[in-house]
Amino acid sequence: MTDTITSAPRLTRRRFILVVGGVSLAALAGCGGEEETSVACAPEPIADGDECAVCGMFITGSPGPKAQACLRDGRLLKFCSTSDLFVWLLQPDSPPQLRQAYVHDMGQTQWEAPADDAYIAADTAIYVTEQPLRGAMGPTLAAFASAADAEAFMTEHGGRQLAFAEVDVATVNQLARTQMERGSHRSDSM
């Protein structure tokens, strides 16, 4: 009988690099979630000089609900209106970056000067579109935390309710068309 001796594979430079590289990649993949959860995510007060992430307009002094988006990398984007938030959200590369979005609850604040402490999670809000009040860029979506506040608003101003997931490109395009129509009516009457 002959003894067979099996030797362990030789650790070559190439195998060493592959092993170390694989372990490093696994460690990086495991750390991704931890880094994200350590980044604070909350809306901040709108300050003089803050610009809209979509249109570049200064945000302060404009009527209607504003919005903010916390990104996975820790950045905070601010928007002059809920409609501009949805313009950003409906871009294909935006949703993967989003950690949480916030909008003003118009049931808790004044249309002409929304308060910095009246933000709610955008994905839980009830939106009213096709309503006559103007936001920073013209027609916008009024956002509410409660169905009762949305109904009371619609009783006074009209409009149609939408859930967050129902706001789509057609909704945003309708807001833009309404703005163009209102603009052309003003120039016709001058």
Residue 18 forms part of a structural domain: no
Residue 96 forms part of a structural domain: yes
For residue 28 the two structure tokens come to 């990086």
pLDDT band at 9 (very low <50, low <70, confident <90, very high): low
The type of residue at 112 is E
pLDDT band at 2 (very low <50, low <70, confident <90, very high): low
Residue 132 forms part of a structural domain: yes
Residue 110 forms part of a structural domain: yes
Number of domains in the chain: 1
Predicted pLDDT at 180: 83
Residue 44 forms part of a structural domain: no
Residue span of the structural domain in which 162 resides:
67-189
Over residues 79-105, the pLDDT tens digits come to: 999 999 999 999 999 999 999 999 999
63 contacts 134 by C-beta, under 8 angstroms: yes
Residue 98 forms part of a structural domain: yes
Contacts of 166 (CB under 8 A, 6+ apart): 127
Residue 30 forms part of a structural domain: no
Residue 170 forms part of a structural domain: yes
pLDDT band at 34 (very low <50, low <70, confident <90, very high): very low
Predicted TM-score of the model (pTM): 0.76
Over residues 48-80, the pLDDT tens digits come to: 999 999 999 999 999 999 999 999 999 999 999
Report the first-to-last Cα separation within the chain, whole angstroms: 109
**3-state DSSP assignment of residue 182:** helix
